């Protein structure tokens, strides 16, 4: 019997689902927002992820410089 490990991912988050919803509403004509606002959930998710990454990098570099 083989010893295997299975991993499950969480799938799309709130930002992904909102982006899909807003794009569908825009393409069907239910909303007439600018594409900047339609895609805002994706940009916000990207921005938060980038901020967390840069913050972690800054902490790592600060600890490395102190040693």
Averaged pLDDT score across all residues of the chain? 91
20 is written with which tokens? 């899909």
User: What share of the chain in percent tops pLDDT 90?
Assistant: 75
What ranges do the domains of the chain cover?
Answer: 14-66
pLDDT of residue 2: 67
In the structure, what pLDDT confidence band is assigned to residue 61 with cuts at 50, 70 and 90? Answer: very high
How many helices (H) and strands (E) the chain has is answered by 3, 0
pLDDT beyond 70 at 1: no
In the structure, what pLDDT confidence band is assigned to residue 49 with cuts at 50, 70 and 90? Answer: very high
Record the pTM: 0.69
């Amino acid at each position: 019997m083989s010893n295997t490990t299975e991993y499950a991912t969480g799938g799309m988050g709130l930002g992904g689902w909102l982006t899909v919803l807003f794009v569908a509403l825009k393409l069907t004509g239910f909303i007439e927002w600018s594409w900047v606002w339609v895609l805002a959930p994706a940009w916000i998710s990207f921005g938060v992820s980038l901020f967390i990454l840069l913050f972690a990098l800054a902490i790592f570099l600060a600890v490395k410089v102190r040693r």
